Chains A and B, each alone.
Chain A
Amino acid sequence: MNMPNAKKYLNEMSNCIRCAYCFADCPTFTNFMWDSNSARGRIMIAYGMLQGEIPLTETAVEREFLCTLCGQCEVKCSAGIKILDVIKATRKDLAESGNLPESHKAMKEVFNEKENIYGEDQFIPEKIENSAEYIVFGGCVGNFRENESLVKSHKLFEKLGIKFTRIPEVCCGGVFADLGLDAPEKLAKKNIDAILSTGIKKIIFTCPKCFMTFKEDERYSELREKGIQMQNIVEVLRDKQFEIKFDKKVTYHDPCDLGRHEGIFNEPREVIKKVASNFKELSKNKDQSHCCGSGGGVRGAYTKLSIQIAKGRLKEALDMEAEVLLTECPSCLHNLRNAKKKRDNIEIKNISEFIYDLIEGEK
């Protein structure tokens, strides 16, 4: 198969020693237990198609797109293989030849008319504050699916005296590369224009994926060059003091995009420990943290698997008898909440939402 994108990584594929270290804790391998559903499998499939040793088949496409891009395998891979780059390049070749899950095809079409992943009407900022110090960028999942939690983050900012505004943001476009697609040019441009037009120099991101995209994607380089400061919400909250205390057992799920991909592990813990006296780690935490199953386009294309993975992660929190499972990512929040059964005796919240609720509860 002609795979110009994957071909750039031929050396990387050869360097993969096929040791299988990447089986450990891979959410898809753990769920299916077929060797082909691991990073080793995905690299081999890419290599096999590239070299003409195996044909392009539906199974091959599915294996490549089932990956949540959680990055657990890169932590485990001691050969230092750029696994996610190989998988994304392979997805790009597959997508360019029309071989991608139906939901991803639909995504492309959605963006012909709309500007968010859900095909919803344009996001209307609930708050415009021209003299603000910060812009809060909420992201598609926060704006359209976990809005209640996002609004509580806003309210917490207000209580903490953080002056912010929202903007008529559109999708950051970060998810496109994960699906092997090119993000529509208009998206970044609209966001950049909306941000620059406010004259505000600081952005707080409540979604780690948007945060990562703004910080790393070429399309947003203009903002970086203009010295716009970008912070994740936990970095902002770390410097704040809270007057409340909580003594029930609390644990924290590291979002892959915030933790493994951006290296932000300590800040959320520092924030939680300011209010929760009984904080306990999940057995798999920080760079070893298990994935929630929502990333890499898996929630859209393979919802059943996505929820299955989230159930596994939630079970870890239930098994340690945590009463609150915290995270700080609208996607993780959404998926973990979807996995929760009514009888599961646990609350699932973003950290900011949790603190806001505590403050309100005190009153």
Chain B
Amino acid sequence: MKEELTAIVGEKYVSDDIIDRYVYGSDASIHQKMPEIVVRPGTVEEVSRILKFANEKKIPVVARGAGSGMSGNAVPMSGGIILDLKRMDKILEIKPEDLYVRVEAGVVNDELNRVLKPYGFFFAPNPASGKICTIGGMVANNASGMRAVKYGATRDAVMGLKIVLASGEVLDAGTKTLIESSGYQIERLMVGSEGTLGIIVEATLRLTPLPKEKSMGVAAFNKLSGAGEAVSKIIAAGIIPSFLEYMDNVAIKSVNKMLNLNLPDVEAIVVFECDGVREDIDYNIERIKKVCTEQGATGIKVSSDPKEMNEIYLGRSKLFPAMSQYQDGLVVTSLADDMAVPNSKIAEVSEKIHEIAKRNEVVITTYGHAGEGLIHTKLLIDPTKQINWEHAKNAVAEIYETVISVGGTVSGEHGVAISKAPYFKKERAGLLKMFHMIKKTFDPNNILNPGKLQDAPDDFLTATEIRYPVED
């Protein structure tokens, strides 16, 4: 296999060295499994030739950007080829007048926004991992970020994609127009497909004008339910903030410990931002303050100072990693980490999650992009004890049951892959047959990221090796 791949991309870009295979066998999830080989194509033609070869030989191919996925999305369940697309990092066309930018799949989110800034535009989905995650990974996971409540998720910005099918055939899906009504929207089907239907090599993405100004605020609540109510009442009042987040006490403590931000040590805080022109911002901020006060906020702080706003923003964007400093010996695991529920259910579900944590003897924090009903939880466990993993598994199952029971979904932005697949299959039971048919149509030999989503094992804990030093 090495010989054929080397003939396609050159020696410099192929490695079957055990060290590379080991490193590429892991992402930001709990899972780990080694590929047989890593290949780093630089052109669409190379991708096409690699897939043609792999398809003929029925070798699994797993696309990979930064490998920052948290559900095992880029972990090669069945070995095979890792297709690292980071070399394909060219920005091909910037067309502010047509409101789009065309890029290769390996372009990094923040780099794209750096280049777009002088044009007065940005690519709006803004994941916390933006400094390293690639457009291909964002599309394949339908990534979103804090500002999705106003600007939408990646799917809302995808106008067109160039895709390489498992057979090696290259397809252009979608358009360069802002609207389209011309048949099946294959580009949309690719969004969230996690590398199981085709390899995204190029994306035409919608541009959003950069807002002129913004203000930010933090409201403190003595009750988590008050924070939850405030969030849904803000949305119900017809206000569209540019972000609307909440954090529970475990999250607040971690951020304070790591970043010295002195966030109020209350049961929950709501963080909000409004952007646009000053008059609108001030009007909306006043309305948000009013709603928060009515819902029992004990203190509200608003700022338009860039330095202060950056600190608040930092606190939120560093929250996930800050959790790792919560307590010595406990590690943050990426499990049950990004459910979405109807906005009105946030408080209820968050409180239930805390009860579940207590029952299963794990530390859990809840926080999230409340404006979109997104609940992040982080499970902290001592990873060395097998029993703790069993506790975590039970907690995860209960959390998903709760989420599904209120009409929520197991993944709002990180994708399903391995760790969420058992519960995803329950949530989407009625659609599984169709999912299988779609997969078969696109990838008859099942070479593209096999063993994920509907095809993943029913026990995520035994699906792969676990990356932590489990002792017994």
A interface residues with partner B (beta carbon < 8 Å): 10-11, 14-15, 17-21, 23-24, 33-36, 40-41, 44-45, 48, 51, 53-55, 57, 59-60, 63, 76-81
Contacts and interface: CB of A to CB of B under 8 A. Distances in A.
Contacts of A10: 469
B20 A79 contact: no
B469 A51 contact: yes
29 contacts: A14-B469, A17-B320, A17-B321, A18-B27, A19-B28, A20-B28, A20-B132, A21-B131, A21-B132, A21-B321, A23-B132, A24-B131, A33-B40, A34-B20, A34-B40, A35-B67, A36-B24, A41-B23, A44-B22, A45-B23, A48-B22, A53-B22, A54-B18, A54-B22, A59-B18, A79-B324, A79-B325, A80-B258, A80-B324
Contacts of A55: 18
B332 interface: yes
B20 A17 contact: no
Given A21-B129, A57-B17, 12 more contacts: A18-B28, A19-B132, A20-B133, A24-B108, A33-B86, A34-B38, A36-B20, A44-B22, A79-B321, A80-B258, A80-B324, A81-B324
A14 to B, nearest CB: 5
Interface in B430-472: 467-469
A54 B383 CA distance: 20
Interface of B: 15, 17-20, 22-24, 26-28, 38, 40, 66-68, 84, 86-87, 108, 110, 129, 131-133, 258, 317-318, 320-322, 324-325, 328-329, 331-332, 334, 383, 467-469
A162 B133 CA distance: 52
A14 B468 contact: yes
B320 A44 contact: no
A80 B67 CA distance: 19
A18 B469 CA distance: 15
Contact of A57 (B19, B325, B329): B19
Nearest to B467: A18
B331 A15 contact: yes
B132 A24 contact: yes
Contacts of B324: 15, 17, 79-81
A40 B322 CA distance: 17
B131 A76 contact: yes
B321 A19 contact: yes
Given A34-B20, A57-B19, A19 B331 contact: no
Contact of B22 (A33, A45, A79): A45
Nearest to A54: B22
B83 to A, nearest CB: 13
Contacts of B328: 11
B94 to A, nearest CB: 19
A44 B28 CA distance: 12
Nearest to B110: A24
A21 B129 CA distance: 7
B23 A33 contact: no
Nearest to B330: A15
B322 A78 contact: yes
A40 to B, nearest CB: 8
A268 to B, nearest CB: 22
- Among A14, A33, A77, A81: residue with most chain B CB under 10 A: A14
Contact of B24 (A35, A60, A76, A78): A35
A32 B383 CA distance: 33
Given A17-B332, A21-B132, A77 B22 contact: no
A169 to B, nearest CB: 39
Closest CB pairs A-B (n = 7) = A78-B321, A79-B321, A36-B23, A59-B19, A78-B318, A79-B324, A20-B66
A10 B469 CA distance: 9
A1 B258 CA distance: 33
Contacts of B20: 34-36, 59
Contacts of A40: 23
A23 to B, nearest CB: 5
Contacts of A33: 40, 86-87
Given A18-B28, A76-B131, A35 B18 contact: no
Contacts of A34: 15, 20, 38, 40
A78 B318 CA distance: 6
A80 to B, nearest CB: 6
B68 A20 contact: yes
Contacts of B468: 14
Nearest to B106: A33
Given A11-B329, A23-B66, A76-B131, A18 B26 contact: yes
A57 B18 contact: yes
A81 B318 CA distance: 13
Contacts of B84: 35
B22 A20 contact: no
Contacts of B334: 17
Contacts of B331: 14-15
Contacts of A81: 324
B131 to A, nearest CB: 5
A53 to B, nearest CB: 7
A263 to B, nearest CB: 15
B19 A36 contact: yes
B118 to A, nearest CB: 13
- Among A15, A54, A77: residue with most chain B CB under 10 A: A15
Contacts of A45: 19, 22-23
A134 B15 CA distance: 55
Contacts of B469: 10, 14, 51
Contacts of A77: 321
A19 B19 contact: no
Contacts of A54: 18-19, 22
A5 B220 CA distance: 45
Contacts of B28: 17-20
Contacts of A79: 321-322, 324-325
Contacts of B322: 78-80
- Among B19, B28, B68, B322: residue with most chain A CB under 10 A: B19
Contacts of A24: 108, 110, 131-132
Nearest to A12: B324
A57 to B, nearest CB: 6
A77 B15 CA distance: 27
Contacts of B129: 19-21
B311 to A, nearest CB: 14
A330 B246 CA distance: 49
Contacts of A20: 28, 66-68, 129, 132-133
A53 B17 CA distance: 14
Contacts of B258: 80
Contacts of B332: 15, 17
B23 A44 contact: yes
A80 B26 contact: no
A80 B321 contact: yes
Contacts of B110: 24
- Among B317, B331, B332: residue with most chain A CB under 10 A: B331
A57 B383 CA distance: 28
A153 B397 CA distance: 67
B222 to A, nearest CB: 29
A18 B331 CA distance: 12
